[in-house]
Amino acid sequence: MNQHLTVVVVEQNQERAFAIVDALKEAGDVDVSVIGNVSGLARKIATHSPDIVLIDIDNPSRDMLEELTVASGPLERPVAMFVSGAAGGLAKAAVEAGVSAYVVDGLQAERIKPVIDTAIARFQVLRQMRTELAETRRALEERKVIDRAKGLLMKAKGISEDEAYALLRNTAMNQNRRVAEVAEALVTASGLLS
Amino acid sequence: MRTVTLPVAYMPLVDAAPLIVAREMGFDHAEGISLDLRPAPSWSSLRDMLAFGHVDAAHLLSPVPVAMALGLGGIATPLSAVSVLSLNGNVIGVGTQLAERLIDQGYGFDFTDAAAAGAALAKAADEVLVFGVPFPFSMHVELLRYWIAGTKLASKQVEIRTVPPPLMAQALAGGEIDAFCVGEPWGSFAVDDSVGALLLPGKAIWTCAPEKVLAVRNDWAETEPHLLGSLMRTVWRAGRWLSNTDSRTTASEMLSRKTYLNVSPELIDRALMGEFAISARGEQRSVEGFVEFFDGAATFPWRSQAKWVAHQLALRNGLDVGTAERQAAKVFRSDLYRRELQGLGVETPGASEKLEGALSESTAVASANGSLILSRNVFFDRRIFEPAG
C-alpha cells in the first residue's frame, strides 16, 4: 500500500508557509504544496487532489473549503472535516492550535496523525508569535493615544505629565475602564470640540 | 451581583445585533451573566468554536445545525437552536455589467417582485450565472435555489460558490462571481464600492425566512440549564429593545464600532431602517421589516422551519425526506424556548409547527394568553410547505 500522502497548505504568508512545509516534510513521507492566493480556492485544491488540506483557522477564506465537504462539491472524492472520531481529540487540539484540517474520508487515522500533529505544533508556534506581535503593536498604539491624552490634559489644566497620567489612571479606576480607553475617549472628545 | 462570563461567538453582521445590544445595553448583567463576545473570521471556524467547546453559544446560520443533524458537512456535534435570532436580512445583488443590461432592457428594479426579477435576470444573464454566497449551508443558498427553481432562471446554468462576505464586493469586481446573496451590510458595501446593484431583499422570496439562530451544544444545554435560561432571556430582551424603532439609531452606532462591525453607522442604518441605496447612482428603495428581531413571534424556533430546511437539503443530497425532517425537527428547540421564557410572561404559540407560507396577512393565533399575532408568511410563488415527516 502506498504510504505517500499529498498535503496542501493554504497560507498567504510565504515564510509561515515554508516553516510549515519544512516541519511536515520532516514528519514523514509527504508531498506538500502551498496555495498562497485564495481566489478560486476550492477549484485550485481540487486540481491537487490532496489527502489533507491544512489552513489557518483565522483565514476567512476557510469557508470556501467547506464546499469540499459537501458531496456534490467540485472535488469528486469525499472530504471530511478533520479525522473521524477514531483520532480522538485531534480535531479539538487542531482547533486550539489554530489549524483546520480537511481530510479525505477513508484515510486511516494513524497515517494522518503524525502529519497533523506536526502541523498543530508548527501552527501553535506561529500563532504564539503572531499574538505577541499583535500585542506589541497594540501596546504601542495605546501608548501613543495615552501620550496625546496626557498632552491635552497638561495643556488644558496646566498640570505636569505625572499629574496628567494620575488623572487618567484615577478616572479609569473610578469608571472601571482601561487607561487606554479613557485616553481614547478624551482624544475623540477633544477632536469633536476643536 | 456576581456574574458568570459566557463566551459567545458571532459573525460581524447586522443580524448579530441582538447579541451586541445585549452586551452594550447590559441586558446580560441584568440576568447575572456577562457575554464575552468573540468575533469569528469564518462560519466554519465559528461552528468549530462552538462544536469543540471554545464558546458556549453562537450566532449561527439557521441551516448549519440542521445540516449537522443530517450528517452533512463533516462535523457532527449535536447542536440545539434554542431561539431564532433574526428573520430575513439578506440581499441579492448583481455586478455592474448585469445591472446595466437589466436597465437597458427596461427593468425597473422594483425590489419587491421576485418572479419578475428572476425573469429579467434570466434575460440579461449569459448562459452561465455564478452566484456568491457566504456558506454552503445557509439561508442564502436555500433562498437562491428556491428562487431560481421557481423562475425563468431555472433555464440557466447556475453555479453557487462560497465567498466570505467581506470579500464579496472584491469577488464581484474581479469577475469571479456575477451576482451574490449576502447578509447586510455587505450588499450595501458592494453598492457603495460601485461594483454592484441590489436586485431583491431576501424577504421578497420568503417573508419569514429564519436567518440566524442562537445555537448551543446539546450537552451544554443539559448541564447548564440555568445559564441557558439567562442567555435566552438576555437575548430576548435585546430583541424586544431592537424592535422599538427609537432604538435603531443607537443600535447602528453600537454595531458600527471597531470592536464589532467596524463600518460606518450609516451603512448599518440601511438594514435596520429598511432604507436602501440600491445602486451607485443613489436610487432608493424601502423594505418594511427588512430584518426582524422580535415582532410576530420572530424568535420562536418553529420545528416547521427546521423541516423546511431539512426538506431542501434532503432533496439535494439524496437523503430520505421524511427521516431528514424528523431529525431536523429535534434541532429547533421550541420546548426549551417555552420552558425558559414563560417566566417573563412571553407569549408563546400553542403549536410548535405551522404551515410555512400559508399566512397571506398578519393573523392572531392560539397562544398562552390569546394575544399573539404572527406576521405575514408567504413564499414568492405562493406555495405552502407541507412537511413529509
DSSP states of A74-97: SSSS-EEES--GGGTTHHHHHHHH
Cβ contact (<8 Å) for A66 and B49? no
Helix ranges restricted to H, chain A: 14-27, 41-48, 62-69, 90-97, 109-157, 161-175, 179-193
Count of pairs with CB atoms under 8 A, one residue in A, one in B = 85
pLDDT confidence bin for A166, thresholds 50/70/90: very high
Mutate to test the interface with A, among B52, B54, B130 (most CBs of A within 10 A): B52
Q: How far apart are CA B328 and CA B72, in angstroms?
A: 12
Q: Where are the beta strands (DSSP E) in chain B?
A: 4-10, 33-39, 57-61, 79-88, 90-95, 128-133, 157-162, 179-183, 196-201, 210-217, 275-277, 284-286, 291-292, 363-365, 372-374
Cβ contact (<8 Å) for A81 and B73? yes
Q: How far apart are CA B351 and CA B80, in angstroms?
A: 19
Q: How far apart are CA B140 and CA B333, in angstroms?
A: 22
Mean pLDDT of chain B, nearest integer: 94
Q: How far apart are CA A81 and CA A89, in angstroms?
A: 14
CA distance B279 to chain A (A): 26
- Between the alpha carbon of residue A72 and those of residues A76, B96, B160, B312, the distances in Å are 8, 30, 12, 14
Backbone phi, psi, residue A53, to 5°: -120, 130
Q: Is the ipTM of this complex over 0.95?
A: no
Q: How far apart are CA A172 and CA A145, in angstroms?
A: 14
- Please give the average per-residue pLDDT across B282-298, as a whole number: 93
Is B363 in a helix, a strand, or coil? Answer: strand
Cross-chain CB nearest to A81 (options B75, B135, B171):
B75
Cross-chain CB nearest to B174 (options A39, A60, A80):
A39
pLDDT of residue B1: 58
CA distance B164 to chain A (A): 6
pLDDT of residue A58: 87
Residue B246 carries which DSSP code? G
Interface of A with B (CB under 8 A): 39-40, 42, 57-67, 69-73, 79-82, 91-92, 95-96, 100, 102
pLDDT of residue A84: 62
Cross-chain CB nearest to B73 (options A66, A92, A96):
A66
Cβ contact (<8 Å) for B74 and A69? yes
DSSP string for residues in B156-220: SEEEEEE--GGGHHHHHHTTS-SEEEEETTHHHHHHHTTSEEEEEEGGGTBTT-EEEEEEEEHHH
Chain B, nearest residue to A96 by Cα: B54
Chain B, nearest residue to A70 by Cα: B73
Over residues B201-216, the pLDDT tens digits come to 999 999 999 999 999 9
Cβ contact (<8 Å) for A96 and B164? no
Cross-chain CB nearest to B48 (options A71, A73, A95):
A95
> Residue B246 is which amino acid?
D
End-to-end CA distance of chain B: 47
Chain B, nearest residue to A82 by Cα: B74
pLDDT at A2 over 60: no
Over residues A108-146, the pLDDT tens digits come to 777 888 888 888 898 888 888 888 998 999 899 999 999
Q: How far apart are CA B86 and CA B212, in angstroms?
A: 5
Q: How far apart are CA B183 and CA B268, in angstroms?
A: 11
pLDDT of residue A88: 62
Q: How far apart are CA B86 and CA B10, in angstroms?
A: 13
* Residue of B173, B52, B87 lying closest to A101 (CA atoms): B52
Would you report the helix, strand and coil content of chain B in percent, each value rounded to 5? 45, 25, 35
* Residue of B304, B117, B302 lying closest to B204 (CA atoms): B117
Cβ burial of A33 (10 Å; 0-12, 13-18, 19+) is middle
Cross-chain CB nearest to A63 (options B52, B72, B135):
B135
Cβ contact (<8 Å) for A100 and B174? no
Over residues B91-150, the pLDDT tens digits come to 999 999 999 999 999 999 999 999 999 999 999 999 999 999 999 999 999 999 999 999
Cross-chain CB nearest to A60 (options B49, B53, B164):
B164
- Please give the average per-residue pLDDT across B167-173, as a whole number: 93
Cβ contact (<8 Å) for B162 and A66? yes
Cβ contact (<8 Å) for A81 and B44? yes
Q: Which helix (H) or strand (E) holds A103?
A: strand A99-104
Chain A, nearest residue to B54 by Cα: A96
CA quadruple A181, A185, A188, A194: dihedral, nearest 10: -140
CA distance A174 to chain B (A): 18
- Between the alpha carbon of residue B319 and those of residues A106, A146, B75, B314, B386, the distances in Å are 21, 60, 18, 5, 18
Give me B144's grid cell.
437562491
- Between the alpha carbon of residue A117 and those of residues A134, B51, B84, B327, the distances in Å are 26, 20, 38, 35
Q: Is the dihedral of CA A141, A147, A150, A152 positive or negative?
A: negative
| Contact (CB, 8 A) for A38 and A64 | yes
Chain B, nearest residue to A71 by Cα: B317
Contacts of residue B136 in chain A, CB cutoff 8 Å? 66-67, 69-70, 73
| Contact (CB, 8 A) for B172 and B50 | no
Chain A, nearest residue to B46 by Cα: A57
pLDDT of residue A1: 38
Could you tell me which residue, B74 or B172, shows the higher pLDDT? Answer: B172
Could you tell me which residue, B149 or B371, shows the higher pLDDT? Answer: B149
B185 upstream amide cis, omega within 30 of 0 = yes
pLDDT of residue A16: 87
DSSP string for residues in B33-61: EEEEEEE-SSHHHHHHHHHTTS-SEEEEE
pLDDT at A43 over 90: no
Contacts of residue B145 in chain A, CB cutoff 8 Å? none
Chain B, nearest residue to A59 by Cα: B41
Cβ contact (<8 Å) for B162 and A70? no
Cross-chain CB nearest to A70 (options B73, B166, B167):
B73
- Please give the average per-residue pLDDT across A176-192, as a whole number: 91
Tallying the residues shown for chain A, one arrives at: 194
pLDDT at A187 over 90: yes
Over residues A70-109, the pLDDT tens digits come to 754 445 666 777 766 545 678 888 888 888 888 887 777 7
Cβ contact (<8 Å) for B176 and A40? yes
Contacts of residue B47 in chain A, CB cutoff 8 Å? none
* Residue of B202, B185, B359, B198 lying closest to B290 (CA atoms): B202
Q: Which helix (H) or strand (E) holds B308?
A: helix B303-317
Cβ burial of A6 (10 Å; 0-12, 13-18, 19+) is middle
